[in-house]
């Protein structure tokens, strides 16, 4: 018995190939890790206005500086003289590539109002340094992207 390849067989082959590739892609996609920016992203999205006001307040500070030194291996933050003794907050070292490598550092400036934060502990790659603090009931926020080598 001899089989003939006709247009009906071609359509069936195309549909079968499409269905198999769709199942293969869905299987592949389900096995990929999904890292959210944060587990509570909805609650954090509600804080956008407050964060923007804190950014504007930070931009207006005289004497505040954030510097990347040591080939991207260290971040140095310097506060103005009137805030040095009152700083309370954190610096989050956010790694977009892998949220398991994020770190939170408590801010504790020295007597000169400076704090050095080392980035050498983690792997190479992009780090977003998010510095958030309060003084006299006012919130301040700044972030810088750093490529650690």
Q: pTM of the entire structure?
A: 0.70
Nearest to 75 by CA among 29, 124, 116: 116
What is each CA distance from 110 to 59, 74, 86, 87, 129, in whole angstroms?
Answer: 22, 16, 11, 11, 19
| CATH assignment at residue 73 | 2.60.40.10
Per-residue pLDDT of 35-58, as tens digits, reads 766 677 787 788 888 899 999 999
10 with 46, same domain: the answer is no
26 with 64, same domain: the answer is no
47 with 107, same domain: the answer is yes
10 with 51, same domain: the answer is no
22 with 57, same domain: the answer is no
Position 11 scores a pLDDT of: 94
145 φ/ψ angles, rounded to the nearest 5 degrees: -90, 135
How far is Cα 14 from Cα 31, in angstroms, rounded to an integer? Answer: 26
16 with 72, same domain: the answer is no
Position 36 scores a pLDDT of: 67
Position 20 scores a pLDDT of: 98
Position 119 scores a pLDDT of: 85
The DSSP element (H or E) to which 58 belongs, if any, is: helix 48-59
83 with 102, same domain: the answer is yes
Residues 6 or more apart in contact with residue 66 via CB below 8 angstroms: 75, 76, 77, 78, 129, 131, 142, 144
Domain count, the chain: 2
Could you read off the pLDDT tens digit of each residue along the chain, which spans 149 residues? 677 788 888 999 999 999 999 999 999 999 988 776 667 778 778 888 889 999 999 999 888 898 888 777 888 999 988 888 889 999 999 988 887 888 999 999 988 889 998 888 878 888 999 999 999 889 999 999 988 87
Which residues are 144's β-sheet partners?
129
5 with 49, same domain: the answer is no
Domain that holds residue 62: 41-148
- Cα dihedral sign, 41-48-96-128: negative
């Amino acid at each position: 018995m001899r089989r003939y390849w006709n247009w009906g067989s071609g359509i069936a082959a195309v549909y079968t190939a499409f269905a198999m590739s769709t199942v293969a892609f869905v299987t592949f996609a389900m096995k990929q890790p999904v890292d959210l920016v944060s587990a509570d992203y909805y609650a954090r999205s509600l804080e956008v206005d407050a964060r923007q006001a804190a950014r504007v307040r930070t931009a207006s500070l005289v004497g505040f500086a954030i510097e990347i030194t040591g080939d991207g291996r260290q971040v140095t933050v310097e506060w103005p003289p009137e805030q040095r003794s009152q700083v309370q907050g954190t610096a989050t070292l956010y790694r977009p590539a892998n949220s398991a490598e994020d770190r939170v550092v408590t801010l504790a400036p020295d007597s000169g109002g400076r704090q050095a934060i080392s980035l050498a502990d983690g792997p190479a790659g992009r780090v977003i340094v998010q510095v958030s603090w309060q003084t006299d009931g006012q919130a301040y926020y700044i972030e810088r992207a750093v490529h650690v080598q």
